[in-house]
Amino acid sequence: MKKFWVSVSLAVAAPLVLGLASSSASAEGAQVLDVSKCTILDGYGELYPTTDKNQAVFNKNGDVLRCSAKEVPTPGQVARFNKKNTGYRCCTGRHLTDDWHQVVSAAGNATLICKFKFD
């Protein structure tokens, strides 16, 4: 089975795998982690490391990782990726999920969202 490795760790106590982070509490009790790097897919479906600022939000029910990048290589049309059409899983280094989707616009703006649920 393929794994889609997102190069971050959402563990508060542990350092990030490939980035720096700072966290702050929100009014709703969720934590927000600023992630400096992650790896997404470009418009051709190839792995693409980001350098844009990204966020991971986590609370007692689960985490949401959001990675975005500008000027991502693209064939000039919208590309949509998910578990179903790639076979990849989103991974933070600690957790895996099949619940993710990514869009790369024709202009090369990409957004990846991974959702992790905890019981």
**DSSP string computed for 75-117:** -SS-EEEEHHHH---EE-SS-EES-EEEEE-TTS-EEEEEEEE
> How many angstroms separate the CA atoms of 62 and 78, rounded?
29
pLDDT of residue 13: 24
pLDDT tens for each residue of 50-95: 877 676 676 667 778 888 889 999 999 999 999 999 999 988 777 7
Taking CA atoms, 98 is separated from 36, 53, 58, 104, in Å, by 23, 23, 17, 19
The contacts of residue 13 (CB under 8 Å, 6+ apart) are: none
The Cα–Cα gap between 82 and 99 comes to 8
Query: Structure tokens of 90?
Result: 């989103």
Where is pLDDT greater, at 115 or 33? 115
> Where do the structural domains in the chain lie, given as residue ranges?
4-117
Q: What is the mean pLDDT of the chain?
A: 73
* Token pair for 73: 């290589």
Assessment of whether the complete model's pTM goes beyond 0.85: no
Joined together, the tokens standing for residue 89 give: 């899983």
